[in-house]
Structure 1
Amino acid sequence: MTTDRRGRLSAALCRDLADFADLAAEWDALHRRCPTATPFQSHAWLHSWWLSYGAPGRLRVVLARRDGRLIGAAPLMLVHRPMPLLVPVGGAISDFFDVLVDDEDTAAAVGALEHGLHRAAAHTVVDLREVRPDASAHLLFEAWSGARSSRADSTCMELPAEPIDALIGRMSSSRAQRARAKLRRIDALGIECRPAPVHRVAGAIGTLLRLHELQWLGRGVNPEHLRPRFCAHLVRSARRMVRDGEASVREFLLDGEVVAADLSFRSAQLTGGYLYGADPRLRDRKVDVSSMLLREIAREAGGLDRGVLSLLRGSEPYKNHWAPDPVVNRRLLLARSTLEPLLRLRETQLAVRDRAAEAVGARFPAARNWRGLLGGLPDAGLAAVGRS
């Protein structure tokens, strides 16, 4: 592509699953060198997702290299509905999207990715969902030489990466008093937290999903959580991520019986609870499950330098008890200048979908998740602590 004093830059498109699998080691190294990367950009998560959800012939991963060294990556896929689009690998069950760029060679990585993506999007619009405000994808957006557009996406709730006592200190005095009482009750019952080692991840994930189904019985569980492909994806990805220190699977035991389990992720700057399951009988014992889980996740997040504890997508009322900061993700649309009419058409489609979702939500408040179902591929989040 170009050569400067630091070496030759090149951009390539990976379309073969076997080739993507072979990228694991250098992808992981780049993931560690990209400070904005979230767990949903790890190779373990993306490769496993493709095995469960990917369609043959649709993989489009843009790779940027300097003298053969991987310095940038944009994991995308081709879809044809509601129009030809390049969208993030990871789909609706991933809470955040970002491109990976080498922190030591950011400008070159962004430039090479822009060049490669411009070629890959010869006939399509690029539709990037759930981009965090500090994501590297914004650098790509600013460097884009064609048509572009940005709009608000999901709202996320975030807390400082601090121990639970510090988080309680953010509350009003009355709420803080109640929170401490809930945690004392958990301790008084003798509930034990047991992290699952790699060899027990599959069993712990199975228990988590069984309890998740039980807790939502009769209340509209997300059907994707009950499908074998979702279980297979979580087991595959979590095994690698637990091994590499990027995830934890925990079981909570009461009188020797597992009564709750959760899966959380972490990267350099972010820790978040992804999914949990809890025995409904805990309600009879007056156990506040969200407080119990958050305390353990906060212990993980406490070691981050200037990091955040993310409650991930959604602004459910229980999250507001912890006085979190709302953070709005962005949706970035990119297209070649010659395809600007297609980009404007995509904007119109999204505006129509949003108006329809607002109308449905106003008339049927319980149907809040319909917003994601009106856009072709499911857009609504499938996980996070407390999500159905």
Structure 2
Amino acid sequence: MNLTPEPITDFPALQALRADWQALSARIPENTDFFATWDTTWTYLNLHRPANWQVVAIRDQDSGALLAVFALQVFQIAHNGQIFRTCQPLGVGYLPYIEFPVDSAVRRDVLQVLLNTVLQQQLHIDVAIFWPLHQASPLYLTLLEDLGRTEVLKTLRFAGNLHEIETRGRDLAAYRQSCSIKSFKDAAYKARKLGRQGELRFTLSEPGANLRPLIATLCQQNLQKFGDKHACRHLPQWSAYLPQLGETLSTSGLAQLSTLRLDGEVVAAVLSFVHKQRRSLYLIDYDPKFVSYSPSKIILAKLVEQTFAEGGIFCFGAGSAPYKRDWGPSVGELKAAIVFFNPSARAALEDQLTLSGLNSLGGVQ
């Protein structure tokens, strides 16, 4: 099979790729690729307009079939007077994890084209940073198997940074009993207590007309709560981007804003992304007036129960907040795979490209 890379750096070409990209995403088995879909990439680029973005589409030269897409940003790292050309996934900083859509039948062939032809020969990249990656990432596993014993690859582990609930083949009642009393049992108690104050109503997915103002309020509550410790404090457009992203993706069912209301007043809200039976909790907060009723806990219980009903996966996203352990025992880790094409780049950047060093570039906290 002859594979041909197609660089895309303008919006008309990106728009023309939409149908093929969506079809590729739909047929690959991985469900951790939400942030590498056409929809999220298009929305991100339209608001942020970052410099030096590059979408690499790889096709079968004979049939024209799209086999892989890599949305990247090229930038520079300066160190002791040296400049190194670098790339990483587009939108790092907003991503809990990412997996590029790749046809699994030709994964290694595709990666060879990406690494050798595109990144090394065409873009003259010194170091490629693939992160944050899910612990089940085929990209990470393939790079580790093929390059793990060489000086070309450096890997990093973000331990205790991935929590999710696999509901398939599990009984909800039994699962409830296995969890901490701080989860389902406490949520039910607080729901009864709050329900005595008025009509308590849970809405799984708010209609489109409500989304922008509700998500904007959710962002402001979250920013006020965490202040200068907020995970996205280095992303000034964060609170403008999320309302647009949620509204845009809700039309295709990829985004849901769930609310808990008391007599019509929103007391808690959750922005989730739903893709291939994976519900990824992205942002959750509540009206501080109701803190004694633990409204976030009440709405979390509703969403976990909904995911059980759908037979999907509930993902808490990146981060090691202690409350996540109350909802389930599954604790994983995120990964980073760093590929050095220039030996001098590894010598110069070895101490900089660490867990904390990657965070300074933007990403999981």
TM-score by length of 2: 0.82
Per mean C-alpha deviation after superposition, the further-off stretch among 202-211 and 273-282 is 202-211
* Aligned counterparts of 2:38 and 2:77: Cα–Cα separation in 1: 26
Identity of aligned residues (%): 22
2:118 matched to which residue of 1?
A: 120
CA gap of 1:183–1:244, structure 2 versus 1, over 3 A, is same
Per mean C-alpha deviation after superposition, the further-off stretch among 179-188 and 320-329 is 179-188
CA gap of 1:297–1:173, structure 2 versus 1, over 3 A, is closer
- Indicate yes or no: 2:221 matched with 1:237: no
Per mean C-alpha deviation after superposition, the further-off stretch among 89-98 and 318-327 is 318-327
2:307 matched to which residue of 1?
A: 301
CA gap of 1:223–1:341, structure 2 versus 1, over 3 A, is closer
1:203 matched to which residue of 2?
A: 213
CA gap of 1:54–1:136, structure 2 versus 1, over 3 A, is farther
What does residue range 210-249 of structure 1 map to in structure 2 within 5 Å? 210-214=220-224, 216=225, 220-221=229-230, 224=233, 227=236, 229-249=237-257
From 292, 298, 312, the equivalent of 1:292 is 298
CA contact (8 A) 2:260 2:266 kept: yes
2:81 matched to which residue of 1?
A: none
Shift of 1:54: 4.1
1:157 matched to which residue of 2?
A: 163
* Aligned counterparts of 1:276 and 1:68: Cα–Cα separation in 2: 42
2:336 matched to which residue of 1?
A: 331
Shift of 1:271: 1.4
2:38 matched to which residue of 1?
A: 43
2:74 matched to which residue of 1?
A: 78
The superposition leaves residues 283-325 of structure 1 with CA deviations (integer Å, 9 ceiling, x where unpaired) of 1xx22133222123224422555x4211111111212222331
1:366 matched to which residue of 2?
A: none
CA contact (8 A) 2:58 2:68 kept: yes
CA contact (8 A) 2:269 2:286 kept: yes
Shift of 1:281: 0.5
* Aligned counterparts of 2:182 and 2:345: Cα–Cα separation in 1: 53
Question: Please, what is the CA RMSD of the aligned residues?
Answer: 3.0
* Structure 2 unaligned blocks of 5 or more: 79-83
CA contact (8 A) 1:210 1:277 kept: no
* Structure 1 unaligned blocks of 5 or more: 355-370, 382-388
* Aligned counterparts of 2:241 and 2:227: Cα–Cα separation in 1: 25
* Aligned counterparts of 2:234 and 2:269: Cα–Cα separation in 1: 14
Shift of 1:375: 5.1
TM-score by length of 1: 0.78
Aligned residue type for 1:13: P
1:358 matched to which residue of 2?
A: none
CA gap of 1:172–1:273, structure 2 versus 1, over 3 A, is closer
CA gap of 1:218–1:172, structure 2 versus 1, over 3 A, is closer
Shift of 1:184: 3.3
* Aligned counterparts of 1:225 and 1:250: Cα–Cα separation in 2: 26
* Aligned counterparts of 2:58 and 2:304: Cα–Cα separation in 1: 35
CA gap of 1:326–1:223, structure 2 versus 1, over 3 A, is closer
CA contact (8 A) 1:28 1:42 kept: yes
Shift of 1:33: 1.5
2:94 matched to which residue of 1?
A: 93
